[in-house]
Amino acid sequence: MAFQANVLQVLIASPSDVFKQRNEIEESIYKWNNLHAKQMNTILLPIRWENDTIPSYNEEGSQQSINEQIVYDCDILVGVFWTKFGTATATSPSGTIEEINIFLKQGKEVMLYFVDGDIPRNSNYEEVKKIDDFKSEYRKKGITFSYSKGNIIPHLYKKVQEYNKKRPSIAKSLFQQDFNNAATEDIDIYTMVIRGIFTPVEMLFLSYMLSTNIREFDSLEASTLNTEHELIAWLESNSYDSELINMYGQVLSNFYDRGLLTPTYHPSYNHVITYKMPLPLYDRVRALTSTAKLIISNNAQKFYKLPF
């Protein structure tokens, strides 16, 4: 079904030594669209200079051509550094730095990452020092993260939220449809249970949700809701083993990837504190047929811990 969406252009900015990470960021942007575009009425369009510029000449230099063709029009910048600082331009120590400064001056969203991998022996350590100096200077006013592919999607989710808050007129016109229904209307919990899409430990998690009426859970980075304590108490009261505790992070990740959970962020720090199942989706879980609930219950018995 067609839906209205705001298209945000995401500039992938970096020197030349992080081609692998650039590809991962682009893949993550497309995955973000699959997970969240309809829910947030927002589509992210990855922009890379090697794909989205054309041959041109500019008296002010090639970087200015890149700026005019793609940088000025982009809405979010995702930057990543490893061992190369980049080539100096007419106005900045590197093209990537110039792009970051343009975004900062325009008050646009910036996500900056640094690869923590081992430095190759043939690296130019003067460039590595420039990167370290830049990181130290940037951190006086901004927040950076060590690069991890798994951070890109949740961080983009937060950035899109911030973008829409700064532009309420756009958000109001695009978010008129019911948020939760738009996010969950295509998810068929019943079919996923009947067809065995969930792993056994994920089915145990569903059993926990059904028996406790809980639909919001701590992330691995936080303990706001005391989820781990509640889970352990529930497992012990039912004489189940601790496999769900051991696999808790993976279960959350899988539910999130399937669109079953949405993240909530700490207002001051760039990480998820809780995951919540939208109420319309949770209502479907509670309204599952007796057959589906029996499948979930029988699966839970696989984790029964013998008393000897």
Question: For the structural domain made of 6-174, what CATH number should be given?
Answer: 3.40.50.2300
Q: Quick one: pLDDT band at residue 267, thresholds 50, 70, 90?
A: low
Q: What is the pLDDT of residue 270?
A: 47
Q: Which among 130, 123, 13, 26 is positioned nearest to 78, based on CA atoms?
A: 13
Residues 170-202 have pLDDT tens digits of 444 444 444 444 445 567 889 899 988 999 999
Q: How far apart are CA 125 and CA 139, in angstroms?
A: 21
Q: How far apart are CA 199 and CA 177, in angstroms?
A: 33
Q: What is the pLDDT of residue 272?
A: 65
Q: What whole-number percentage of the chain has pLDDT above 70?
A: 88
Q: What is the pLDDT of residue 234?
A: 94
Question: What are 129's two structure tokens?
Answer: 């020092």
Residue ranges per structural domain of the chain: 6-174, 179-303
Residues 280-300 have pLDDT tens digits of 899 999 999 999 999 999 998
Segment 73-87 shows an average pLDDT of 95
Mean pLDDT: which of 125-139, 154-168, 169-183 is highest? Answer: 125-139
- Mean pLDDT score of the chain: 87
Q: What is the pLDDT of residue 12?
A: 98
Phi, psi of 77 (to 5 degrees): -115, 130
86 burial class (0-12, 13-18, 19+ CB within 10 angstroms)? buried
As its CATH architecture, domain 179-303 has Orthogonal Bundle (1.10)
49: helix, strand or coil: helix
Q: What is the pLDDT of residue 214?
A: 94
Q: What is the pLDDT of residue 250?
A: 87
